Amino acid sequence: MLLLIKDLLDINAIEQGLMKFNIESFDLLENLSSICDIYTQTANLKQIKLHFDPKDDSYIIHSDRRAITQILDNLLSNAIKFSPFGKNIILEILDFENKIQISVLDEGPGISSEDMLKLFGKFTKLSALPTADESSTGLGLSIAKQYVEALCGKIWCESILGQGAKFIFELPKS
């Protein structure tokens, strides 16, 4: 219940332009490694392997650390929630000239074309069900999208029904 209230307050603040961002330069690799450590434990409960093998030693970005952590939290928790036992989740980071791209790829049920149309809506529950009776508020992807857009980025999903889903977001480096 507390998480639902927090999510509602966050989404309301973002929509009203009241969300205060703390923009700073930091190494995104630290955030990614930390959140991977946290979610590895959750993934292990479902025998899911979480893969993260960055190609560089550092990914400096000028953005809001807390917001990016929240985006990753929502994407990784969904990937675990909707992946069957014994599958894989791949977290990837790419560094382009003026942006950083992060993706979360799972081996879950994928997303139908009908569900793709309502994917980032508030309180949206799609046809796929969590694989271990996990709960869902239907707000995580909406919050992720609002954070990404507030940070001047973009987010999207690539999926083929039955073949998993890949959520990708890009943020400007500065």
> What's the pLDDT score for residue 131?
58
CA–CA separation, 34 vs 37, rounded Å?
5
> What's the pLDDT score for residue 52?
96
> What's the pLDDT score for residue 140?
84
> What's the pLDDT score for residue 174?
81
Written as six digits, the tokens of 121 are: 């809506």
The residues spanned by each domain of the chain are: 2-14+47-172
For residue range 62-81, list pLDDT tens digits in order: 999 999 999 999 999 999 99
CA–CA separation, 57 vs 77, rounded Å?
25
Task: Please count the helices (runs of H) and the strands (runs of E) in the chain.
Answer: 5, 7
Residue 18: φ, ψ to 5°: -100, -5
Regions in the chain scoring below 70 on pLDDT:
1-14, 18, 123-138
* Superfamily of domain covering 2-14+47-172: Histidine kinase-like ATPase, C-terminal domain (3.30.565.10)
pTM for the whole structure: 0.87
